[in-house]
């Protein structure tokens, strides 16, 4: 098992977790910004982190690992690898989470749903519904980072590698604005990755 400290240090080292003063797409300000793709771009980190999810569900008799695209694809791949099981993904078609590309769930197959970051759990739930509609059984849910603050709850065994609290402020009562710290928009070049 990786410790919370080890996980956080990999996130920081790879620039996935940034500290500062960020403008989020929601318009809120935050002292932290997390971009999971930054850590998953290193296959050896992806293998190690996702391996923890695989390990947790090693006795769950998983037949297939399913993820919502795009963020979940790498996670499904790296969870399916040690389990020696298929890794597939669902994507939106006309607004509905759908298995395309000839991906199939056979009736009674045991599916493990995974994703990178859980914010509301909405996409994961849609994938679970798609699996069930095809006759599959959802036997578990795993994610690398749960930032739902306990809001994403499923009635199946659930595992997250780490839980991260998100502090968001409206611009009017942002303490970082009050301290005069420069506001940066993630993805711009101004972010220092320390």
Q: Which residues bind Zn ion (CB under 5 A)?
A: 29, 174, 176-177
Q: What are φ and ψ of residue 23, in 5° steps?
A: -95, 115
- C-beta of 8 vs 184, nearer to Zn ion: 184
Cβ 21 to Zn ion, closest distance in Å?
6
| CB count in 10 Å sphere of residue 27 | 9
Report the C-alpha gap between 71 and 179 in whole angstroms: 34
Q: If we measure between CA atoms, which residue out of 99, 46, 54 comes closest to residue 71?
A: 46
Cβ 146 to Zn ion, closest distance in Å?
25
- C-beta of 2 vs 177, nearer to Zn ion: 177
Cβ 28 to Zn ion, closest distance in Å?
9
Cβ 6 to Zn ion, closest distance in Å?
30
- C-beta of 66 vs 174, nearer to Zn ion: 174
DSSP state of 151: -
Q: If we measure between CA atoms, which residue out of 90, 92, 95, 72 comes closest to residue 131?
A: 90
The β-bridge partners of 92 are 97
Residue nearest to Zn ion (CB): 174
- C-beta of 3 vs 25, nearer to Zn ion: 25
Cβ 191 to Zn ion, closest distance in Å?
15
Helix/strand/coil percent split, the chain, to 5: 30, 30, 40
- C-beta of 149 vs 175, nearer to Zn ion: 175
| CB count in 10 Å sphere of residue 180 | 7
């Amino acid at each position: 098992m990786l410790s919370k400290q080890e996980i956080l240090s990999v996130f920081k080292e790879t620039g996935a977790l940034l500290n500062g003063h960020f403008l989020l797409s929601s318009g809120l300000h935050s002292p932290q910004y997390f971009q999971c793709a930054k850590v998953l771009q290193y296959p050896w980190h992806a293998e190690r982190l996702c391996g923890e999810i695989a390990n947790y569900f090693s006795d769950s008799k998983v037949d297939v690992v399913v993820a919502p695209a795009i963020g979940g694809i790498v996670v499904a791949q790296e969870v399916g690898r040690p389990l020696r099981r298929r890794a597939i993904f669902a994507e939106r078609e006309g607004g509905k989470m759908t298995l395309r590309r000839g991906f199939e769930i056979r009736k009674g197959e045991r599916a493990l749903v995974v994703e990178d970051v859980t914010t509301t759990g909405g996409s994961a739930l849609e994938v679970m519904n798609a699996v069930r509609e095809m006759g599959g059984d959802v036997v578990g849910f795993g994610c690398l980072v749960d930032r739902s603050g306990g809001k994403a709850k499923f009635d199946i065994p659930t595992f997250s590698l780490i839980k991260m609290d998100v502090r968001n402020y409206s611009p009017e009562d942002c303490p970082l604005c009050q301290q005069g710290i420069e506001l940066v928009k993630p993805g711009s070049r101004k972010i220092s990755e320390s």
